[in-house]
């Protein structure tokens, strides 16, 4: 029974005396530089996976769980969105990272109310992200009351009532923000957006805003469709695969198996990246134990070590080569039939490209003419080409242009809408694509809102809401006062850590739906809630019995999954259950929806999805088929849903990377012991780093030229709009990286990414092109 909850008045709400630390503390250990692993996968990956799983889950439970992972009807890996094979699946459909993700969730360790009684929030904030994550699964809903320094347990009904009170106290529904992470299932996401829109706002930022928003924006504008266009089967038929700004060895490891198979049948692989990455250099299939002793297979035929954000220049260089080849062999290189029938803007594009100087292309890309010619030759010789990419392209000011230059290049040879060819933005979180399909978007289409309103008999809000960057700014400026996150670690995933922390602290209430501890629980509004939910691995029982949930992978396959383990605590609710509880408490009689009925049987949620979201006809029947079903993909049929019904060639200026003396262009990236913001360990064996994360990778010549030294402890500064940001105590590591470029791990370096530095049109934070300077501690003087 819900207890009446006193709504705190403004006077009651005081911030904590001791402010919690928004940034992970500086490690006491000094990072060590070790030899870089020569190959990815192999025995080491298998051993690490087994050890991690067995340590966290126990041998029998761990082995049983891993054997269910990514199997048809089994447990969905909470990691990346790389798809599973449509047909036969082996017993080991997971990678080292997948084993870590599952073991991390299914750990036997627990974070109980006694744990929170032991530590103040400020104490916890002094612990590292690794330590926080290692404490285990949160067992009970917890509240941090205004002025309190400890979380304390709270009943679910009281937690929902507290949220309802705060939401009702807002001057407008638009003063609330409802964030979603890519872990959320289709069913939970659909229910959540329905609740949020019935509440009255479209303020639904999501993790997609921070990753592939630029891909969706770039593709939708030019092709009329914002998702990848290939299936896994296309990789069996392509002649060349270009992998740009992506590190599959760490971030999408089973993609390496697909690449290996392609390579073995003669497909050429080109890797474009500022850093050489172990996975694409050499790979040993972890299940082919007879290959473990050898050197592995070299996957990339051509490695192009592009300057950070030199991709537009490089792509223009390749396109110039293609057009030059056409000049030499008219009618023999370009796919004129495709260009004439399906596209518009070719002449303007060609004319603009002819004016770009080769010297500028070489300078901005950092590539030699020969390398660009080599890449162009592979592209031209290949009948069928697939382009894959990830955050290395999407997190720049000109990120949308990056994507659209790939579209330009591919259209020159009609590489869209034919088997074995197409575009493959590789998503990093298991259901980030599905959540968007379910309507988690701050800019919903009129068509979607019409159908949603008709299905549930209400008028959804029509004005667009805040994306992630603008949600942070709204909270900072006091225009948003309640923040609710369905999963994720908003503080650590977002840019400009101190600014975002200040934004969250200004809220009256922050709420995190979580499985494990993270820093977002420690940087809170004046009141905070932690709502613990079931994980992917756990049995979800509702009134009608055991439920399954569905997700959509990077290649638009919708598949059903079902947890098998006993829940970490009896007090957990499923994500749909949490949304339904919230909706009942917040909307009350305003909503005619029977939320309890929807949650009693997820088939009913899927029926509603079928009525609202295109492509989900016979959802409940088709998703019960082995392996699920594909959503429609118009590009595969060469249907371009733009105003003109044609795909657009586009023209983009060559981005100029101008650095003053002493400045570097920094990109943030993940280590191998990390999944998004979750830290599993302090090593990155694929880059030779042990026991530390506060490292800055620099070119050895730059280290010498700057008077710095390998191993020196330095502070990193970024200056943007007259404001200086600093990240302290990083160790210099000499590395193979282009001159004047630097690489660091996030979230440690997020503090340097200015909140106003984001991609044109997509608003994705430009975390991969931040201008920094580097100073040793002595230069900085005492604090
Ligand atoms: S490739 Fe991605 S989805 Fe597959 S097991 Fe590894 S992390 Fe999980």
Report whether residue 561 contacts ligand 1, using a CB cutoff of 6 Å. Answer: no
Report whether residue 77 contacts ligand 1, using a CB cutoff of 6 Å. Answer: yes
Atom number, ligand 1, closest to the C-alpha of residue 253: 1
The token duo for 733 is 């590591």
Atom number, ligand 1, closest to the C-alpha of residue 255: 1
HEC sequence for 589-640: HHCCCCHHHHHHCHHHHHHHHHHHCCCCCCHHHHCCCCCCEECCCHHHHCCC
The token duo for 262 is 């392609």
Alpha carbon 226 to chain centroid, angstroms:
16
Query: What's the gap in Å between 45 CA and the centre of ligand 1?
Result: 13
Report whether residue 429 contacts ligand 1, using a CB cutoff of 6 Å. Answer: no
Closest alpha carbon to 141 in 133, 152, 130, 126: 152
pLDDT of residue 43: 83
Report whether residue 80 contacts ligand 1, using a CB cutoff of 6 Å. Answer: yes
Query: What's the gap in Å between 94 CA and the centre of ligand 1?
Result: 6
Report whether residue 102 contacts ligand 1, using a CB cutoff of 6 Å. Answer: no
Alpha carbon 481 to chain centroid, angstroms:
26
Closest alpha carbon to 332 in 246, 224, 413, 227: 413
Residue the block writes with tokens 């709504």: 7
Cβ-contact 732, 708 below 8 angstroms: yes
**Ligand 1 mutation target, pool 41, 68, 80, most atoms within 8 A of CB:** 80
Query: What's the gap in Å between 158 CA and the centre of ligand 1?
Result: 38
Report the SS3 class of residue 412. helix
Main-chain dihedrals φ then ψ at residue 260, nearest 5 degrees: -60, -45
Query: What's the gap in Å between 76 CA and the centre of ligand 1?
Result: 9
Query: What's the gap in Å between 93 CA and the centre of ligand 1?
Result: 8
pLDDT digits (tens, 9 = 90+) for 344-357: 999 999 999 999 99
607 CB burial (10 A radius; 0-12, 13-18, 19+): middle
Which positions ≥6 away from 535 have C-beta within 8 Å?
78, 105, 106, 137, 515, 563, 568
The token duo for 581 is 């509880």
Report whether residue 95 contacts ligand 1, using a CB cutoff of 6 Å. Answer: yes
Query: What's the gap in Å between 83 CA and the centre of ligand 1?
Result: 8
What is the pairing mode between strands 557-561 and 629-630?
Answer: antiparallel
Report how far apart, in Å, the C-alpha atoms of 28 and of each of 258, 613, 782 are.
40, 51, 19
Report whether residue 249 contacts ligand 1, using a CB cutoff of 6 Å. Answer: no
What is the pairing mode between strands 713-720 and 678-679?
Answer: unpaired
Q: How far apart are CA 489 and CA 207, in angstroms?
A: 10
- DSSP alpha helix (H) spans, 334-430: 336-342, 346-354, 358-365, 369-381, 391-394, 399-412
pLDDT less than 50: residues of the chain? 1-18, 781-783
Closest alpha carbon to 430 in 592, 561, 236: 561
pLDDT of residue 18: 46
Q: How far apart are CA 255 and CA 262, in angstroms?
A: 11
Please give the model's pTM, rounded to 2 decimal places. 0.94
CB atoms within 10 A of CB 761: 15
Query: What's the gap in Å between 47 CA and the centre of ligand 1?
Result: 16
Cβ-contact 528, 143 below 8 angstroms: yes
Report whether residue 79 contacts ligand 1, using a CB cutoff of 6 Å. Answer: yes
Q: How far apart are CA 388 and CA 425, in angstroms?
A: 6
Atom number, ligand 1, closest to the C-alpha of residue 80: 2
User: Tell me, what DSSP letter sits at residue 211?
Assistant: T
């Amino acid at each position: 029974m819900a207890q009446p909850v006193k709504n705190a008045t403004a006077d009651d709400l005081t911030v904590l005396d001791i402010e919690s630390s928004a940034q992970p503390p500086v490690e006491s250990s000094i990072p060590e530089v070790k030899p870089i692993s020569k190959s990815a996968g192999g025995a080491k990956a298998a051993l690490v996976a087994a050890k991690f799983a067995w340590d966290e889950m126990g041998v029998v439970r761990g082995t049983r769980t891993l054997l269910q992972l990514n199997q048809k009807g089994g447990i969905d890996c909470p990691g990346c969105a790389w798809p599973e094979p449509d047909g036969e699946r082996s017993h080991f459909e997971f990678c080292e990272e997948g084993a870590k993700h599952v073991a991390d969730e299914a750990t036997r360790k627990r974070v109980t109310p006694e744990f929170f009684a032991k530590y103040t929030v400020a104490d916890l904030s002094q612990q590292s992200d690794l330590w926080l994550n290692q404490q285990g699964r949160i067992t009970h809903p917890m509240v941090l009351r205004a002025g309190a320094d400890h979380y304390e347990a709270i009943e679910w009904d009281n937690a929902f009532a507290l949220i309802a009170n705060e939401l009702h106290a807002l001057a407008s529904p638009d003063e609330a923000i409802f964030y979603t992470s890519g872990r959320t299932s289709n069913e939970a996401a659909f229910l959540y957006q329905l609740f949020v829109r019935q509440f009255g706002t479209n303020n639904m930022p999501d993790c997609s805003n921070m990753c592939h928003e630029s891909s969706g924006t770039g593709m939708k504008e030019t092709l009329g469709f914002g998702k990848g266009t290939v299936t896994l089967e296309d990789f069996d038929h392509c002649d060349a695969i270009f992998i740009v700004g992506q590190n599959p060895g760490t971030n999408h490891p089973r993609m390496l198996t697909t690449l290996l198979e392609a390579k073995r049948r003669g497909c050429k692989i080109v890797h474009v990246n500022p850093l050489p990455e172990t996975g694409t250099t050499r790979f040993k299939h972890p299940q082919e134990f007879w290959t473990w002793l050898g050197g592995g297979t070299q996957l990339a035929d051509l490695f192009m070590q592009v300057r950070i954000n030199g991709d537009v220049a490089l792509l223009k260089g390749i396109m110039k080569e293609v057009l030059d080849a056409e000049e030499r062999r008219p009618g023999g290189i370009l796919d004129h039939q495709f260009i004439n029938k399906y596209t518009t803007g070719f002449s303007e594009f060609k004319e603009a490209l002819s004016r770009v100087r080769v010297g500028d292309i070489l300078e901005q890309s950092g590539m030699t003419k020969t390398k660009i010619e080599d890449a162009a030759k592979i592209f031209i010789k290949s009948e069928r080409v697939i382009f894959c990419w990830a955050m290395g392209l999407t997190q720049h000011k000109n990120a949308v242009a990056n994507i659209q230059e790939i579209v330009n290049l591919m259209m020159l040879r009609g590489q869209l809408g034919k088997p074995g060819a197409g575009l493959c933005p590789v998503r990093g979180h298991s259901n980030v694509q599905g959540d968007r399909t379910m309507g988690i978007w701050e800019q919903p289409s009129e068509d979607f809102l019409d159908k949603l309103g008709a299905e549930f008999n209400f008028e959804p809000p029509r004005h667009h809401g805040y994306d992630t960057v603008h949600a942070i700014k709204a909270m900072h400026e006091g225009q948003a006062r309640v923040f609710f996150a369905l999963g994720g670690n908003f503080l650590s995933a977002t840019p400009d850590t101190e600014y975002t922390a200040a934004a969250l602290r200004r809220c009256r209430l922050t709420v995190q739906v979580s499985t494990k501890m993270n820093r977002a629980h420690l940087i809170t509004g004046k009141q905070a809630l932690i709502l613990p939910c079931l994980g992917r691995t756990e049995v979800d029982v509702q009134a009608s019995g055991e439920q399954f949930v569905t997700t959509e992978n990077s290649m638009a396959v919708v598949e059903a999954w079902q947890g098998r383990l006993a829940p970490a605590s009896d007090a957990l609710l499923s994500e749909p259950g949490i949304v339904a509880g919230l909706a009942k408490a917040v909307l009350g009689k305003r909503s005619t929806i029977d939320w309890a009925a929807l949650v009693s049987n997820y088939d009913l949620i899927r029926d509603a999805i079928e009525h609202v979201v295109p492509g989900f006809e016979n959802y409940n029947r088709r998703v019960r088929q082995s392996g699920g079903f594909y959503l429609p993909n118009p590009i595969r049929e060469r249907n371009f849903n733009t105003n003109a019904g044609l795909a657009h060639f586009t023209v983009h200026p060559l981005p100029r990377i101008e650095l003053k003396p002493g400045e570097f262009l920094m990109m943030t990236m993940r280590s191998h012991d990390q999944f998004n913001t979750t830290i599993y360990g302090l090593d990155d064996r694929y880059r030779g780093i042990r026991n530390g994360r506060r490292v800055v990778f620099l070119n050895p010549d730059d280290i010498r030229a700057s008077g710095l030294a390998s191993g020196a402890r330095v502070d990193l500064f970024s200056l943007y709009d007259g404001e200086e940001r600093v990240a302290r105590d990083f160790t210099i590591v000499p590395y193979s990286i282009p001159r004047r470029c630097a690489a660091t791990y996030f979230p440690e370096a997020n503090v340097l990414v200015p909140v106003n530095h984001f991609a044109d049109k997509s608003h994705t934070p430009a975390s991969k092109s931040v201008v920094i300077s580097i100073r040793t501690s002595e230069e900085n003087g005492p604090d």
